[in-house]
Amino acid sequence: MFHTTYRLLRENHACKDRYVLFHKSATTLGYNGDTTPIPLTVALETNGLDDALWALRAVLPEEEKTRDRLARLLACDYAEHVLPMFEKHYPTDKRPKMAMEVARRYALGNASKEELSAAWAAAWAAAGDTAGAAVWAAAGNAAGAAAWAAAGDAAGAAVWAAAGAADWAAAGAADWAAEQAWQREQFIAMLNEKEA
């Protein structure tokens, strides 16, 4: 399980309104003290997936290395889940898929920093089109990718860029709700993997 603290959340510039909601709820649950470790499942239950993903940037220092690996893999999972929607519109653009592959290999210790940097460069090169944010989210800094993933209703840049807002609008609220539920399950699975 990953943990955060009130102090770490503030040091990472948590949104004031969301922080107040979390602090009030977590204090009610018995998490008192500025440096008391609070499981991210508390953030998930009190504030929702977006805030829990954002809180990955504010884990305990001894959890950062594991967070980097698992958050990178989670960002890849999110983007890969909607990759077919992207490929429907851009069947010849392999940048998101390639960046996810490099990011996944890097997280598992099978790619170099140079390869990851090349994927990062591809992300910036693609920044002007719909592939850009998906590539960035998959290839970028793990904590940053997870935080960016929180930016747009959980999947954030990875989903919106890979799938396209128009596709989600066409898919409808039920499909979007199902995607959010799936993302929540993946986040919980990541937390459980951390415990194993």
Which of 15, 33, 59 is a domain's end point?
59
Same-domain status, 51 and 147: no
Same-domain status, 85 and 20: no
Q: For every one of its 196 residues, what pLDDT tens digit does the chain have, with 9 covering 90 and above?
A: 899 999 999 999 999 999 999 999 999 999 999 999 999 999 999 999 888 988 998 999 999 999 888 888 888 888 788 777 777 777 887 877 887 788 888 889 999 988 887 876 765 565 455 555 555 454 444 444 454 444 333 334 444 444 454 555 566 667 777 888 888 999 999 888 866 5
Same-domain status, 55 and 69: no
How many structural domains does the chain have? 2
Same-domain status, 81 and 49: no
Q: φ and ψ at 143, to 5 degrees?
A: -65, -40
CA–CA gap between residue 46 and residue 39 (Å, rounded) = 11
Same-domain status, 46 and 73: no
Same-domain status, 170 and 123: yes
What domain range is 184 assigned to?
65-195
Same-domain status, 45 and 76: no
Same-domain status, 52 and 79: no
Give one DSSP letter per residue of 171-184, joined into a string: H-HHHHHHHHHHHH
Same-domain status, 94 and 121: yes
Same-domain status, 36 and 99: no
